[in-house]
Structure 1
Amino acid sequence: MSNATMEIESDDINHNPSPITNYPPKHGSIHKNMDSDSKNPPSNEISIPNEPEIDHSQDDDDLSDDAQEKQYEEELDDVDTLQQIQADISKPPGTAEMPQHISAHSKRAIFLSKIPFFRQSKQPKKPKTRRLKTYEILKFADKWDILLMIVGLIAAIIAGGLFPVMLYLYRGVTNNLVDMGKFQRNITSDSSIIEQSGQCFIVPNTTGETETPQEAILGIIRYYVIIGFSSILCYWIAWSTWLLAAERQVRRIRYALFRNILRQEIGWFDVHNAGELSTRLIDDLDKIKNGINEQVPDFISLVSRMLGALIYALVTGWKLTLVFLSISPFVIITFNLTVLVIVKYTMKEIKAFAAASSIAQEVIQNIRTVTAFHSQAKEEERFAKNLTLAKTIGIKKGLYIGLSQCLSQIFTFLAFTITFWYGPQLVRTECTHYTAGSVIVVFIACMIATMSTALFIPNFQSFAEALSSGSYVFEIIDLQTKIDAMSDEGDKPGQIIGDIEFDNVTFTFPARQEISVLNNLSLKIPSGKTVALVGASGCGKSTIIQLIQRFYDPDQGRVLLDGKDIKTLNVAWLRSHIGIVSQEPV
């Protein structure tokens, strides 16, 4: 019985061919044994030496133009080196005009390199991620989610629009309270106010109205109760519908993200670390959820309340409204400045305390080592240093917040002062349009409109974070894998013999594309043959097995199973016919 033979053709292996002793074939299945400590010594040994070192000692003339430009840019950072280059360039004979041109160009390069805007960054540019449009964040919503969101939007608009109605009732209450004060001064309700020569006078009222201010206020209170219950109902509908729709959408997004991550080829995981993927599954999805849950109806209700209050204030007393709104931008700016200061220095405090906590945790976990080296004083100094940093940050935070609050209160009370100074003037001169209730209502409406506008910033921040996180998450969800183990595509042969062949295979790992692991490897492994791959660490032994499993596809060449390229086979079918004990078992 003739023994099976093995043919090996490789640029790397041929440099140091090793003897191959054949075992008689055993069973017609694929066997891969990577354990070098096996009890049965391997008889077929393929020695795969390391890659020969590449000699990089080349002359500057052999460098490419891009490499020369990169080298020159690095040398331009040093002014002394640049001056030496200019001196050397200016000496060649027969080029009288060239030195001046090169010197001027070099001087411009030095000058521009000192400006941060023109300074070239040496860090590699990250690939740009497509920014989502606002409506694309809701791409996982079904018809029921859309219905819930529409109902929630309507409820939020109504909830915000009820505020001007409340102001209208409040105006009536205020006017009746003023009338009650008139009664206390012996001015009866059988009188009215007229304007003559820019002044207002009280004249007898002949309309015959007998309703007292107390009765009018009690009648208005009934409407207050109705508006209160309506507002509670609208807010509950708006918040609950959007929260429910957000939970349903985020659940689908989380499932689709995890499913598509599992579909990716191994090479994709080589360039994406586990921490990044965990962040996508937890933090980014939480940000998406925060951007499409109660923040949306809150923003809509704020807009509705702001517009309603502003329109009502302009209709009631446009002069007084414009006077108040002239101060409103300063109130809004100082409010948002306070929020930014709080967020910025709170993050710094958290980092400082986290560093101190990590030191404490490290010392406590290794208390025996610290005690053995008598390093308690040193560790106390490290811990105190981080606490001192947190203290400094806290002091700055308090000072800046106090300054921001001071400016905010100054502008707020300035608006109060101008409003209550100009309001009585309008009541005296334009009494047919302005009353005490009108002044109070305009003041409250302008304050509500101003504060509602200031509250837009947290919502905008949540929306921006949701769109930014959604861009990365949806990019991964839409990513098409090169080797899909969950797809039904590909051939599924009825029987398998087990002959494996590498045909001029060249391969580099995606994370280390500058290093070639296999160079034009040609290898035939007949069915039933026991083969041992022997070589130094990193020479490509495990890579050959991973190519057979189709964890990766070769850059060039083919991997054949029974004469068929494994790219044409169904991935799940292929892997189900391979038994392997790897060096990194699960």
Structure 2
Amino acid sequence: MPLLIVAFGEMTNSFVTMGQAINMSSAVMNSSSTYPAIPGLDIEAEMTRFAFYYVGIGFAVMILSTIQVWTFLTSAARQTARIRQKFFFAILHQEMAWFDTSQIGTLNTRLTDDINTIHEGIGDKFCIFVQFFATFLTGIVIGFVYGWKLTLVILSVSPLLLAAAAAVGSFLLASFTTKELSAYARAGAVAEEILTAIRTVVAFNGQMKALTKYDVNLENARKVGVKKSITTNTTLGFTEFILFGTYALAFWYGTKLTVEEKENYDIGRVLIVLFSVLHGTFSLGQGSPHLESVANARGAAYEVYKVISKHRLIDSSAKEGYRPDKLKGEIEFKNIHFGYPSRPDVKVSDLFKCIFAVNCCCHYLCDQKEN
């Protein structure tokens, strides 16, 4: 985009130069409705050159964007597939006592939702943030190269644009969306509970009570949705106000510079500086939500890798340790007692202890026989 802005500014200068040359020479269009020859300027050749610039930039964007998204998404898919494999392997090789304190539903959520969050953080969201950040840096650099005075004036109001864009894109919109989804989730939970026990609800004539309970949660979701719409559009209007105010300031000061410093500023430079700095600032604000996805992926990865790297007291996949070459079926149990980690003070009955021990030994003998 910054390169496109530079080409646009140079093309604008060509149009302005042509208009000035026509006015100075007092030329008029001939009968064939073509522009008269202007010394030193061939407008048709100039426009052809810029057309080639635009086509070249378009092809470059198509190729580089394909490579960018393809490489990051492919890498993310491979990494998350390996993380799923290692996480599932770690769960299967935990000791039985660990499952007494770990909920199976939580592990299933880690295996699906958390790893999907990791995929979003290391996939296209990350490369898009890098793209926006590079656009920001390039826009600022181009602004200082083509006109540092006008760039400093525009940058003086850029923090307002950045704050407004970040507030709409990340903080406010994400906050209200989370609340709205939570309200709808509560309403969905009520509906699921009622529909699961629909026979009991109908038997006790509780349809109206169930409907009232469901409507309460829907009303909360509606209120959050209204607040979300009002806040988002108000902030968007404020952003547009700041944007058009920046246009007014930049064109006023840019015109002043073109009059006072003709050798350093022209209309093309003013447009290049204006759009480069503004687009760069907006790009940084648009990249903030994608950076939030990276932060969420880090939080999800912490919980996943904590399970993967957890030390297992009993690990059947371990290569070290003593292993007997053969096992005789002479087994004797003495002083067997244990308790679950979630209930360490409760001793399990002797009968259950014996059954559990014999079951483990039978499984071990079967595995030895198969091997």
Cα deviation for residue 237 of structure 1 reads 1.0
Give the Cα–Cα distance (whole angstroms) in 1 for the partners of residues 366 and 308 of structure 2: 25
Amino acid at match of 2:182: K
Give the Cα–Cα distance (whole angstroms) in 1 for the partners of residues 25 and 142 of structure 2: 30
Give the Cα–Cα distance (whole angstroms) in 1 for the partners of residues 235 and 128 of structure 2: 26
Cα deviation for residue 297 of structure 1 reads 2.2
Distance 1:253 1:188, change over 3 A: farther
Amino acid at match of 2:70: S
Cα deviation for residue 313 of structure 1 reads 0.8
Equivalent in the alignment of 2:262: 431
* Deviation sequence 1:119-154 (CA, Å, 0-9, x none): xxxxxxxxxxxxxxxxxxxxxxxxxxxxxxxxxxxx
Q: How many residues align?
A: 357
Higher relative contact order at CA 8 Å, sep ≥6: structure 1 or structure 2?
Answer: 2
Equivalent in the alignment of 2:3: 165
Distance 1:326 1:574, change over 3 A: farther
Structure with greater helix share of residues: 2
SS at structure 2 position matched to 1:386: helix
Equivalent in the alignment of 2:367: 576
**Match for 1:275 among 83, 105, 111?**
105
Amino acid at match of 2:367: S
- The answer to whether the aligner puts 1:452 opposite 2:243 as a matched pair is no
TM-score (normalised: structure 2): 0.88
Cα deviation for residue 234 of structure 1 reads 1.1
Cα deviation for residue 179 of structure 1 reads 2.4
Cα deviation for residue 164 of structure 1 reads 3.5
Equivalent in the alignment of 2:343: 512
Cα deviation for residue 324 of structure 1 reads 0.7
Equivalent in the alignment of 2:16: 178
Distance 1:278 1:490, change over 3 A: same
Give the Cα–Cα distance (whole angstroms) in 1 for the partners of residues 120 and 280 of structure 2: 24
Give the Cα–Cα distance (whole angstroms) in 2 for the partners of residues 389 and 540 of structure 1: 54
Amino acid at match of 2:165: F
Amino acid at match of 1:543: K
Q: Say if 1:492 and 1:573, in contact at 8 Å, map to a contact too.
A: no
* Deviation sequence 1:404-457 (CA, Å, 0-9, x none): 223222222221121111111111111111111111111110111111110221
Give the Cα–Cα distance (whole angstroms) in 2 for the partners of residues 575 and 509 of structure 1: 26
Structure with greater strand share of residues: 1
Equivalent in the alignment of 1:235: 65
Map 1:404-423 to 2 at 5 A: 404-423=235-254
- The answer to whether the aligner puts 1:385 opposite 2:223 as a matched pair is no
Give the Cα–Cα distance (whole angstroms) in 2 for the partners of residues 511 and 364 of structure 1: 34
Amino acid at match of 1:171: G
Q: Say if 1:242 and 1:293, in contact at 8 Å, map to a contact too.
A: yes
Equivalent in the alignment of 1:354: 185
Distance 1:212 1:494, change over 3 A: closer
Amino acid at match of 1:492: P
Give the Cα–Cα distance (whole angstroms) in 2 for the partners of residues 375 and 506 of structure 1: 50
Q: Say if 1:288 and 1:470, in contact at 8 Å, map to a contact too.
A: yes
Cα deviation for residue 389 of structure 1 reads 1.2
* Deviation sequence 1:359-390 (CA, Å, 0-9, x none): 33443444443333222222222122112211
Cα deviation for residue 294 of structure 1 reads 1.5
**Match for 1:215 among 37, 45, 52?**
45
* Deviation sequence 1:165-217 (CA, Å, 0-9, x none): 33332221010121233355x22499xxxxxxxxxxxxxxxxx9532233212
**Match for 2:176 among 342, 345, 366?**
345
Q: Say if 1:176 and 1:214, in contact at 8 Å, map to a contact too.
A: no
Distance 1:363 1:468, change over 3 A: closer
Distance 1:540 1:331, change over 3 A: farther
Give the Cα–Cα distance (whole angstroms) in 2 for the partners of residues 219 and 286 of structure 1: 47
Give the Cα–Cα distance (whole angstroms) in 2 for the partners of residues 277 and 297 of structure 1: 29
Give the Cα–Cα distance (whole angstroms) in 1 for the partners of residues 9 and 237 of structure 2: 31
Give the Cα–Cα distance (whole angstroms) in 2 for the partners of residues 376 and 549 of structure 1: 50
- The answer to whether the aligner puts 1:463 opposite 2:299 as a matched pair is no
Amino acid at match of 1:179: T
Amino acid at match of 1:211: L
Equivalent in the alignment of 1:43: none
Equivalent in the alignment of 2:333: 501
**Match for 2:24 among 174, 177, 187?**
187
Distance 1:369 1:512, change over 3 A: closer
Cα deviation for residue 506 of structure 1 reads 4.8
Distance 1:541 1:329, change over 3 A: farther
Q: Say if 1:176 and 1:216, in contact at 8 Å, map to a contact too.
A: yes
Q: Say if 1:352 and 1:387, in contact at 8 Å, map to a contact too.
A: yes
Map 1:73-472 to 2 at 5 A: 163-183=1-21, 186-188=23-25, 209-339=39-169, 340-472=171-303
Give the Cα–Cα distance (whole angstroms) in 1 for the partners of residues 240 and 105 of structure 2: 45
Equivalent in the alignment of 1:480: 311
SS at structure 2 position matched to 1:500: coil
Give the Cα–Cα distance (whole angstroms) in 1 for the partners of residues 327 and 302 of structure 2: 45
SS at structure 1 position matched to 2:270: helix
Amino acid at match of 1:328: S
Unmatched segments (≥5 aa) in structure 2: 28-37
* Deviation sequence 1:228-249 (CA, Å, 0-9, x none): 2112111111111111111111
- The answer to whether the aligner puts 1:545 opposite 2:336 as a matched pair is no
Give the Cα–Cα distance (whole angstroms) in 1 for the partners of residues 66 and 293 of structure 2: 21
Give the Cα–Cα distance (whole angstroms) in 1 for the partners of residues 359 and 204 of structure 2: 52
TM-score (normalised: structure 1): 0.57
* Deviation sequence 1:97-127 (CA, Å, 0-9, x none): xxxxxxxxxxxxxxxxxxxxxxxxxxxxxxx
Amino acid at match of 2:328: I
SS at structure 1 position matched to 2:334: strand
